[in-house]
């Protein structure tokens, strides 16, 4: 739907997926582009697409959704961040199994190419049963009993949501 003094009727803008999208996350850059990431409901694949924000209500204006590189076939809870230089990062969780943890991927060309996933939290190494990213403004929820793990979660939350985007992207370049 679009607001133009009153709400228009909702329209579908992205289609062709096996299940409903979950954990939709969005960001807008200084050039007026709207970026979305989401987890595909049945497969757990993480996707990315973008459109000019003022035309985002038109389905044909959206880029073809792309699956971001993943270290595991089961992803959840993506969160997207864009800086003033146009660098885009998506953090996502692999909540279960041996690869469980928090990962980040990055693109510098509007999603045409992506970095390989970088594991920023290894939930297996810290002996957690699961790990998921929170909704914006929440802390990580993870099963574990270590004080060091709790401190790490708070640090990662600050990096992903409280630190200016430019600083986060600089850290990503180092990684």
Query: Which residues have a Cβ under 8 Å from the Cβ of 166 and sit 6 or more positions away?
Result: 83, 84, 85
How many other CB atoms are there within 10 angstroms of residue 11's CB atom? 10
- In tens, the pLDDT along 3-57 reads 778 887 777 777 777 777 778 888 999 999 999 999 987 888 999 999 999 888 8
**pLDDT digit string (tens) for 68-113?**
999 888 888 888 888 878 889 998 888 888 888 888 899 999 999 9
Average pLDDT, integer, range 140-169: 45
| Contact (Cβ atoms closer than 8 angstroms) between residue 97 and residue 116 | no
Query: Do 102 and 121 touch, CB atoms closer than 8 A?
Result: yes
Q: For residue 78, which of 90, 62, 65 has the smallest C-alpha distance?
A: 90
145: pLDDT strictly greater than 60: no
What is the pLDDT, as a whole number, of residue 152?
A: 46
Q: List, in order, residues 6 or more apart from 111 with CB less than 8 Å away.
A: 48, 49, 50, 63, 66, 88
Closest CA to 101 of 73, 133, 79: 133
């Amino acid at each position: 739907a679009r607001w133009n003094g009153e709400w228009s009727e909702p329209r579908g803008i992205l289609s062709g997926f096996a299940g409903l999208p979950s954990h939709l996350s969005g960001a807008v850059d200084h050039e007026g582009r709207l970026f979305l990431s989401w987890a595909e409901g049945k497969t757990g694949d993480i996707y990315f697409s973008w459109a000019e924000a003022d035309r985002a209500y038109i389905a044909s204006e959206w880029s073809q959704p792309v699956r971001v590189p993943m270290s595991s076939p089961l992803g959840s809870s993506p969160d997207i961040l864009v800086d003033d230089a146009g660098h885009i990062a998506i953090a996502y969780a692999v909540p279960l199994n041996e690869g469980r943890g928090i990962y980040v991927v990055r693109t510098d060309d509007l999603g045409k190419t992506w970095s390989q996933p970088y594991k920023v939290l290894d939930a297996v190494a810290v002996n957690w049963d699961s790990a998921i990213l929170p909704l914006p403004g929440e802390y990580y929820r993870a099963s574990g009993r270590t004080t060091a793990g709790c401190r790490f979660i708070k640090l990662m939350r600050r990096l992903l949501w409280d630190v200016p985007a430019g600083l986060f992207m600089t850290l990503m370049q180092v990684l």
